[in-house]
Amino acid sequence: MVHYINTAPIHEIWKQRNLDPTWELIEEHPAALNRMLAAGNIELGFVSSHEYGIRPEKYQLLSDLSISANGPVGSVFLFSRYKPEKLSGLPVLLSSQSKTSVCLVRIILEEFFNVKPLYIDGDVREARKKSAEGILAIGDDALRLKLEGSYQYCLDLGETWQIHTGLPFVFGVCAVRESFWRENRQIVSDIHRELVDCRDEGVAHLGRICRLAAPKIPMEIDACHSYLKAIEYDLDERKIRALELFYDYLLRFDESSVEALPLKVIQLQEK
């Protein structure tokens, strides 16, 4: 499970349920979960859309589950001291916590705004030391920087993608290792159903979820509610098309091997 509050409507309900004791929950940021899933240290979970794109032969996607937004996402920002279209040649620090967001900011700057900054890797807290004029920040770090208001320009990457493509953006997917799926279909089906049920309950009781999640930033409960209302957790046909378009861009950047579509999606079994 991604250890950001954007998964709280699923995560908080999951933690309250009396589930199979053989299911072990691992909480980490997206890049760590990507590495663990690729290495076989975990068998399924929410990972970056990019992770599926570079290793599609390893995974199946669980249907009706994602971390996505149809417009502003509220926690994936390019913060800058200059207008984004003025960043050519200037240092922009990229968060190492999500390869999907790194690729998305490259698509937006290079393809939509036709600029090529000097990209540097690092932690958000290193921005001043590295003289970064722009910062890609995601998750809880992005929420904190937005509240601080220390950068003149703040570009919501989900909103920018939607404006230029007319589609939502899928930041994370729920993937299972192909080998585990083949040998443990009932277990995967059971976990799949629990995740969807947790999602439905959490979204239906968002006020209660916000009272649990907001203090972790910290942020006001009303602000948390507005933020989580903008996050979507399904995977409908428009989001499948959005993933396909994202993977087309990754192919241009030599980042993806997803050429055989449609994507491999395990359908949710009826109760």
Axis crossing angle, helix 206-213 with helix 8-16, rounded to the nearest 10: 90
pLDDT at position 256: 66
- Reduced to 3 states (helix: H, G, I; strand: E, B; else coil), residue 233 is coil
Indicate the average pLDDT of the chain.
92
Query: What pLDDT is attached to residue 261?
Result: 55
Query: Which residue did the predictor score with more confidence, 99 or 46?
Result: 46
Q: Tell me what pLDDT residue 227 has.
A: 92
Cα 59 to chain centroid, rounded: 17
**What pLDDT does residue 59 have?**
96
Q: What is the pLDDT of residue 257?
A: 63
Report whether pLDDT(254) > 80: no
With a pLDDT cut of 90, the percent of the chain lying above it is 77
Tokens matching residue 249 = 């861009």
- What is the CA angle 223-227-133, rounded to 5? 95
In the predicted model, what is the mean pLDDT of residues 259-271? 78
Q: Average pLDDT for residues 19-27, to the nearest whole number?
A: 96
Question: Quick one: pLDDT at residue 33?
Answer: 95
Q: Which two three-digit tokens encode residue 245?
A: 């378009």
CA atoms within 13 A on the CB side of 74: 19
Decide: pTM greater than 0.75.
yes
pLDDT of residue 103: 93
pLDDT in tens, 140-179: 888 888 888 889 999 999 999 999 999 999 999 999 999 9
Check pLDDT > 80 for residue 96: no
Distance from C-alpha of 34 to C-alpha of 38, rounded to nearest angstrom: 6
Task: Reply yes or no on whether the pLDDT at 10 is more than 60.
Answer: yes
